Chains A and B, each alone.
Chain A
């Protein structure tokens, strides 16, 4: 058991280090995320002002927290549906993964989470610094900080585990580019990337809540922006845990079924 934990710990570290080599890419992401952040500030602040200072529980301070935290998480939350496993299924390398004494799903998810955690440093901290500089609302109760950190971690893991589902669809489809692009389009919108889902019309908000996407980004932000109190935060964490179990369990089942279905071409 301890040996197994160490292996996954190493995988987490490897994912972390792999990300750390792409410095220029991180700088590029920083420039793009800041620009999008400033455009979001312009249009969303105007929306709050047009609504008379409060729209669906967001005043200017909370909207600022929403904007800069969502920009900070962009490098860490997988909303694109792109995964390494999709490539390895396509070219057959996944057969080698199945020979290793590791769970294929757990190894893939752990490595990706390692990369996502690293991305918080070059892509997350600068966005939060901008947010802190221009002013963000922070929660009143100190309990919200550990709760939002936990929620954030859950959000990252759920996003990675859900993207893994798109990848393993490749056991049956081989080429998963089409589903991946559909996933990317829908996930960003329903996760509340450009507009918080509470601003949606009621039916659309309920639709979003019926998917795992708000658990990836919206709920951690709701907790840290103080839009929900400690009791609300615990409810959101429970919802996240349920989605993690659902997405993780489905991934495990699909991996097993895919393994039986897998045909690798060539010798």
Chain B
């Protein structure tokens, strides 16, 4: 691989492009093989898609039954919470698709198979992130997408450049924030090992929180899931801004634009913990 890079052409621009492509080639090969391997067990893959779809549908149903019992919750009605759910769940599903397999880290740690990653001349986190892609999670993303589209259709939105930009920013930064949650959780596994369930509190608890109207939270919850794990930025705050709804205490609507800051904070914490974790790792003794 290194030889190929050095034997690139004499023109600098072409060399750079070629070098990048060569550098990405192993990751591409791994991802393509993973995708093919999942589709080859047809029956199992179909069932995986169904269960993934069902899981997301049940999550939507959990929100819907509450709004069936009462019409307004936390100042929002069902058609408004649909937008919160759509934004947050789509962002979570895409992050899950890309890096959700960081959840497998405790298994690698216990079995000592993580050592193999250390032997390869590529960054550990990048290898882990590209070691798999779970296509069945596309099915769960479809539920979030449909909820989002339905939410956009039924709500009265003042369409314009601002609204579109807000949606794009919210979705992209929501994705990045949830991806950071997975990496953050993975990093803590180096210390926890058997206590892997602990990080579910903010990864899956975070997903649950992100699809709720944050206005119902108590102050400690607002501090934890509003800011420390910035879950309100994924769906609730952009929706407030987009629909021009009244802001609850502690969560002014201009925060709807601050998704990128939340994503930056989450990634900074995730990478910091990741570096600690990697240094802490002592090997499986294999």
Contacts and interface: CB of A to CB of B under 8 A. Distances in A.
B198 A50 contact: no
A46 B63 CA distance: 13
Given A43-B73, A185-B55, A28 B65 contact: no
Given A27-B195, A28-B194, A43-B73, A195 B58 contact: no
B1 interface: no
Contacts of B182: none
A189 B216 contact: no
Given A28-B192, A28-B198, A31-B201, A204 B50 contact: no
B164 interface: no
Q: Which of A27, A29, A43, A195 counts the most B-chain CB atoms under 10 A from its CB?
A: A43
A18 to B, nearest CB: 14
A42 B61 contact: no
A253 interface: no
Given A42-B221, A43-B74, A185-B58, 11 more contacts: A24-B192, A25-B196, A27-B195, A27-B198, A32-B204, A32-B205, A50-B73, A178-B47, A178-B50, A182-B47, A201-B68
Interface of A is mostly: helix
A188 B69 CA distance: 19
20 contacts: A24-B195, A25-B195, A27-B195, A28-B194, A28-B198, A28-B200, A38-B221, A42-B217, A42-B221, A43-B66, A43-B212, A47-B66, A50-B72, A175-B44, A178-B50, A181-B51, A185-B58, A186-B54, A195-B66, A200-B68
B198 A195 contact: no
Contacts of A133: none
Interface of B: 44, 47-48, 50-52, 54-55, 58, 61-62, 65-66, 68-74, 192-202, 204-205, 208-209, 212-213, 216-218, 220-221, 225
A52 to B, nearest CB: 9
Give 6 closest A-B pairs by Cβ, nearest first.
Answer: A178-B47, A28-B195, A28-B198, A28-B197, A46-B216, A35-B201
Give the interface SS of chain B, mostly helix, strand, loop or mixed. Answer: helix
A200 B65 contact: yes
Contact of A56 (B51, B69, B73, B193): B69
Interface in A25-81: 25, 27-29, 31-32, 34-36, 38-39, 41-47, 50-51, 55-56
A25 B197 contact: yes
* Interface range, A side: 35 or more
A175 B48 CA distance: 12
Contact of B62 (A24, A181, A189): A189
A32 B197 contact: yes
Nearest to A48: B70
Contacts of B205: 32, 35-36, 39
B194 A22 contact: yes
A221 B70 CA distance: 22
A179 interface: yes
A255 B192 CA distance: 38
A188 B59 CA distance: 11
Contacts of B72: 50
A49 to B, nearest CB: 9
Contacts of B193: 24
A102 interface: no
Contacts of B202: 35
A27 B192 CA distance: 10
A178 B44 contact: yes
A129 interface: no
A42 B212 contact: yes
B189 to A, nearest CB: 11
A199 interface: yes
B229 to A, nearest CB: 10
Contacts of B65: 195, 199-201, 204
